[in-house]
A = this chain, B = another copy of it.
């Protein structure tokens, strides 16, 4: 059978990784796919730049039309990143009847509904395993492996940069800003780290995961998103003393009346598997009603882990090239006309346990005031302790761990606690997931 011909848009880290993997494992890949996969053209910004991959047989071009309009190219691999240019390339490729493989989470999370509708109309496949958690195959696991399940919830460490920073803060007792600049020097964080440490990148991924898990359209604008820049070494330390680690999680859950979609830092008991996922590694815990909890762990980024997912998608496309489009795996796991319109809940409606830290004057009745406020709002306390043995009227930290409550109750509690005359300065509030379902 004649080889499948590929045009790659973007020969940066992931693009070069993909070319290297296709070259190095070419024999095994064609033994798996049944056909050879050949990269014949690549779209680049600067054709003269030196690159970390073999370029034999690959024609470089700076004009995207050379890829889109080449009738010999069967599949376009979009690895440019970014928004408008990538979207334009993908839509034009689809219109030309070309299959698309992409690693672009922002593109899928924000424009996916439109892109998949275009793909459906033109009978082509758009594969995006590389958009979430690199080579972990989490899209395939949820979309195909768990197809018999009603997925109830998932929680994941899906941003390697944030996980690296939190790990370093814990292990070294260091400040966020300090570790971040190290991470930038090591290449684990971008010069503009906002996408990663602000939680946007994780929110893009959670959007995609929730959609294929629950059978709902992509709804990036509905994801509650918090980053890790406010995490302080002292909270990492207190959490540790209580037996918890602080992780940055993406959480999606099916609850009464809708779905929760949220990205934020979170205390997790140290004995949980997710709590032990350190450094740049990713892991996603998924619970289906039949299978129970499953966990999927691996590198979430990097040239070759991402290339691993890109090539897996290419092999899937090659394996399916002769199938009629209606019988391929639906992009969002469910048939395109049968997505559910159950709403995403606002953050105020979610349920969570909480860790609170506040500073209060060492004065009789302080704990009574605090526990009364929480009790009146139906918030049960699991643990409360005032640290240190300061003098009367000294300012001492109080640590509180609550049972599950609704976020809007906790909002009210924080407002009331802030008005106490004995409470000094800001109150720290972190969510706490016991993850007893792993």
Contact = CB atoms under 8 A, between A and B. Distances in A.
Contacts of A294: 135-137, 296-299
Interface string A278-293: 0000010000111111
B326 A323 contact: no
A372 interface: no
Interface residues of A, number: 70
Contacts of A140: 137, 140-141, 144-145
Nearest to A294: B298
A292 B305 contact: yes
Contact of A312 (B147, B316, B322, B334): B147
Contacts of A137: 140-141, 144-146, 294
A323 B326 CA distance: 11
Interface stretch (A22-30, A91-99, A110-118): A22-30
A211 to B, nearest CB: 13
13 contacts: A32-B147, A32-B333, A137-B141, A137-B145, A141-B296, A148-B312, A148-B314, A148-B315, A149-B308, A290-B308, A295-B298, A320-B327, A322-B323
A33 interface: yes
Contact of A311 (B290, B293, B310): B290
Contacts of A305: 290-292
A404 interface: no
A140 to B, nearest CB: 5
A21 to B, nearest CB: 5
B299 A297 contact: no
Given A21-B149, A135-B290, 14 more contacts: A25-B290, A31-B215, A32-B330, A135-B288, A135-B291, A136-B294, A137-B146, A147-B315, A148-B311, A273-B276, A292-B305, A294-B298, A297-B297, A322-B323
Q: Give the most central of A277, A293, A321: most B CB within 10 Å.
A: A293
A287 to B, nearest CB: 10
A304 B291 contact: yes
Given A24-B289, A292-B299, A330-B32, A145 B149 contact: no
A25 to B, nearest CB: 5
A329 interface: yes
Given A292-B135, A297-B296, A305-B290, A327 B316 contact: no
Interface string A50-81: 00000000000000000000000000000000
Nearest to A339: B31
Interface string A138-158: 001100111111100000000
